[in-house]
Amino acid sequence: MSKLKYAKDGRLLFTKKMKRDYTILIPMMLPIHLTFMKNILQKHGYKAELLETTHAQIVDEGLQNVHNDTCYPALLVIGQLLDAVKSKRYDINKTALIITQTGGGCRASNYIYLLRKALKQNDLEHIPVISFNLNGMERNPGFRLTLGLLVEFIYAVLYGDILMLLSNQVRPYEINMGDADRLTEKWVSKLSKELNGISFLNKKRFKQNMENIAAEYAAIPVKKVDKIKVGIVGEIYMKYSPLGNNNLEAFLQQEDVEVEIPGLMDFIIYTCDNGATDAELYGINKGAALLTGFLKNYLVKMQNILIEAVKTQSCFKAPSSYDHIKSLVNGYIGTGTKMGEGWLLTAEMLELITSGVENIVCTQPFGCLPNHISGKGMIRKIKENYPNANIVAIDYDPGATRINQENRIKLMLSVARLNHLKLTR
């Protein structure tokens, strides 16, 4: 093991030499999006591996190493990383971990410190932890978010969103099982090779790729029958992560329904938009608000290209624009509610309902009070205005059994089937 270097604040640095020699382990959240990001990191010279483990030992590791009042996503992310480094699959003297750090009011900003504490408790403090953030926190000489890398990540999010969206709309109806997943894998591989930093700021090429993706999914042979549609919303990790929500998407597909999940780009635009909210409501960070406002406008334009590409195929339902989604919360919740998913969680439920998806699973993790307020706390108000809304809030924590969660979802689905039967009579 080479000599370790430390920052002035005492944290272990990820050095340039480590970039050449170390494998960076990435905890799982969105399978398609993070596969893109893993491939991008590898192309930029990093040795990166995306963790796909889901076994019970992950929860046990989290419970043993994270305080029990910490939110459930932290327990799972840290548990998955610890389980990996203890698995003997990796050389622990040449392994690094990466974790997001928001810098905002969410306790997710502190996951990184909990992870380092857990490593120390297990005599693994020689494993460096990289902070993935856009705020300039915790710089490392061996890991830099260059402009080219950031551009590729933006495109990866947009590509991930359209692949997730269209595969979910095709998979329940495909005649040849696996066609949608095979096409997704094809495009992930193709686009991972094509993405090329700043030189990929070519909107014409991006637009063409988006339209080609929509056309190829539309060409998959399907047997279109009338199926119940169910939306998934909630705290960002629980909404997307198969580990966090006990493979909720797969469970719903087994129940013969079409699943709809809002894209990640909405959340990224929302975080940029929060800068403008701070400046408008509180008069703070006005300079930063100009920069985040510029970025927000750019991302909205890029997302609109995705929306228009989906609309080129009449067989698909296109997502709503960010501005429309934001407008839906008027009369429900203020846009100053921005801890965690804040007002966006309420807006996602409203967007699903007003676009015809009245059945919703709202995933709520233990220890995340803001999302209980803007999720479970808003259900009664939403149902007052939309009596046909069929929303179930499902709690996820170490003590909640999968059987109980699935039974509650099945109860929601039984109501959905009754409502669907009434409409088709």
For residue 121, being part of any structural domain is answered with yes
pLDDT (tens digit, 9 = 90+) per residue, 182-219?
999 999 999 998 887 777 668 899 999 999 999 999 99
Helix or strand (DSSP H, E) at 145: none
Cα 173 to Cα 165: distance, rounded to the nearest angstrom: 14
Tell me, what's the pLDDT at 423? 78
Q: pTM for this one?
A: 0.94
Tell me, what's the pLDDT at 1? 52
For the four alpha carbons of 260, 265, 268 and 274, in that order, the dihedral sign comes to: negative
pLDDT (tens digit, 9 = 90+) per residue, 342-381?
999 999 999 999 999 999 999 999 878 888 888 999 999 9
Residue tagged 């840290």 (tokens): 78
pLDDT (tens digit, 9 = 90+) per residue, 219-260?
999 998 999 999 999 999 999 999 999 999 999 999 999 999
pLDDT (tens digit, 9 = 90+) per residue, 79-107?
999 999 999 999 999 999 999 887 666 76
Tell me, what's the pLDDT at 47? 96
Kindly state the average pLDDT of the residues 291-299.
89
* 345: number of Cβ within 10 Å: 33
- 249 shares its domain with 394: yes
pLDDT (tens digit, 9 = 90+) per residue, 48-57?
999 999 998 9
Domain holding 86: CATH number? 3.40.50
- 256 shares its domain with 377: yes
pLDDT (tens digit, 9 = 90+) per residue, 124-148?
999 999 999 877 788 999 999 888 8
- 139 shares its domain with 230: no
Cα 349 to Cα 362: distance, rounded to the nearest angstrom: 8
Write down the H helix ranges in 68-219. 72-86, 111-121, 147-170, 179-194, 203-218
Tell me, what's the pLDDT at 71? 87
Split into its structural domains, the chain has a count of: 2
For residue 62, being part of any structural domain is answered with yes
Asked whether the predicted pLDDT for residue 276 surpasses 90, the reply is: no
For residue 123, being part of any structural domain is answered with yes
Decide if 265 contacts 281 (C-beta within 8 A). no
Asked whether the predicted pLDDT for residue 425 surpasses 80, the reply is: no
Residue 99 domain boundaries: 16-144
From 144, 168, 201, give the residue that closes a domain.
144
